[in-house]
Structure 1
Amino acid sequence: MSDGEGAPGNDGSQFDRLPATADEREVEGRATREEVLDWWAERFGLAPETFANHTFWEKGKGKIWVFADDLPSPQELEGVGMTVLRTRQEHWKPTTTAVRKWGHLATENVIELSPGQATAFAAGHDQELPEWEGDWGYLIATHELAGDQVPIGVGLYLYDELRSVVPKGYQEELPDLGE
């Protein structure tokens, strides 16, 4: 598929492996493996080695998938691995699935919620949290479970408010976690 001017374009019917670096980019606007790894490292402190045995793919415009193996590119499949990131928008957004899988490794932009806050967040409710002193933007929301901080999902923090962006299919009514 081309962009009408002869340059390769994005084909939403197939998965294309992300190029390793910007020098290898053929489709304008497509993220690179290097940019994805840098983003996870800068935003959440995840070491690039976290994804050492994974390949990254784009299907559609900015929906990034991760796969724990390698395949020839392109692939005309319905799914390859799992979605991890939305790009091609002003602010890249991690998926709830990715945060639940790798969020326990994050060291930056993690907001630890009290039991009551975690219950509200998991149910999809926004809440005032002026006490957060970290960055604005997408955060990994966690709560304590059996002594560990467990990722619940992705929140968007703006103007002293934590917005739950947990998809409806992932929202749940947690049992009373107590305070």
Structure 2
Amino acid sequence: MNEIEIFLSSLEERFGIQRECFHKYHLFSRSNDIWCVTKEASDVEFKHVIRRGIRIARVFPHSVRPTTNAIQIFGHLVSKNSLELDEKATRLFLAGKTVDVKPLAGITDGFVVAFYKHYALGVGLLKGSKLKSQVPRSRRVLDSKEIVNHRIEN
């Protein structure tokens, strides 16, 4: 099975995201990473293009980790292994911290999608009652109160 098939199978099995959702995109792999681009953009020849599309997952020997970008774009399709965080936990998660959680029945250890008010925040690594944020350092918000309050008001 190639990396793209591993990715699609993993998304379906772990998060309930159907592979058909990706039929309108061109997926390709490069160095254990899965990239996604619209079919229209993949057909155009660009001069001086370094990279096309966005990285949506990294394939490891025993698991697949979707990127924060992928989850924020496709998170609304997640039907399994997700957690809804409260405001305090959301602040910690966005700051890259480990959060104490109460996993619901059916949620298993491994990568899960964290939500706040039904908005997909990103991926976390769940082990027991600990959720380790996988939000990239460059995207972390050390004082996420403004973001949380903005989301509540809108």
User: TM-score, normalising length from structure 1?
Assistant: 0.71
1:44 and 1:87 mapped to 2: Cα distance? Answer: 15
Which position in structure 1 is the counterpart of 2:66? 94
Matched residue type, 1:138: F
Moved over 4 A (4+): none
Is residue 138 of structure 1 aligned with residue 117 of structure 2?
no
User: Superposition RMSD on alpha carbons, in Å?
Assistant: 2.1
Is residue 155 of structure 1 aligned with residue 121 of structure 2?
no
Which position in structure 1 is the counterpart of 2:135? 166
Which position in structure 1 is the counterpart of 2:152? none
Structure with the larger helix share: 2
Task: Structure 2 unaligned segments of length 5 or more: list them.
Answer: 150-154
Number of residue pairs aligned between Structure 1 and Structure 2:
140
Higher RCO (CA < 8 A, seq sep 6+): 2
- Measured after TM superposition, the shift of residue 79 of structure 1 is 1.3
Task: Structure 1 unaligned segments of length 5 or more: list them.
Answer: 1-21, 23-29
Is residue 103 of structure 1 aligned with residue 72 of structure 2?
no
2:51 and 2:29 mapped to 1: Cα distance? Answer: 11
- Measured after TM superposition, the shift of residue 71 of structure 1 is 4.0
2:145 and 2:88 mapped to 1: Cα distance? Answer: 10
2:13 and 2:66 mapped to 1: Cα distance? Answer: 13
Matched residue type, 1:84: I
- Once the two structures are superposed, residues 95-142 of structure 1 have per-residue CA deviations (whole angstroms, 9 ceiling, x without a partner) of 11100110121111111001111111011111222x213111001000
Which position in structure 1 is the counterpart of 2:34? 64
Matched residue type, 2:15: F
* Aligned with residue 116 of structure 1, among 79, 82, 88: 88
Matched residue type, 1:43: R
- Measured after TM superposition, the shift of residue 39 of structure 1 is 1.6
- Measured after TM superposition, the shift of residue 49 of structure 1 is 2.1
Is residue 53 of structure 1 aligned with residue 34 of structure 2?
no
**SS of structure 2 residue aligned to 1:155:** strand
Select the structure of larger CA radius of gyration.
1
1:85 and 1:37 mapped to 2: Cα distance? Answer: 10
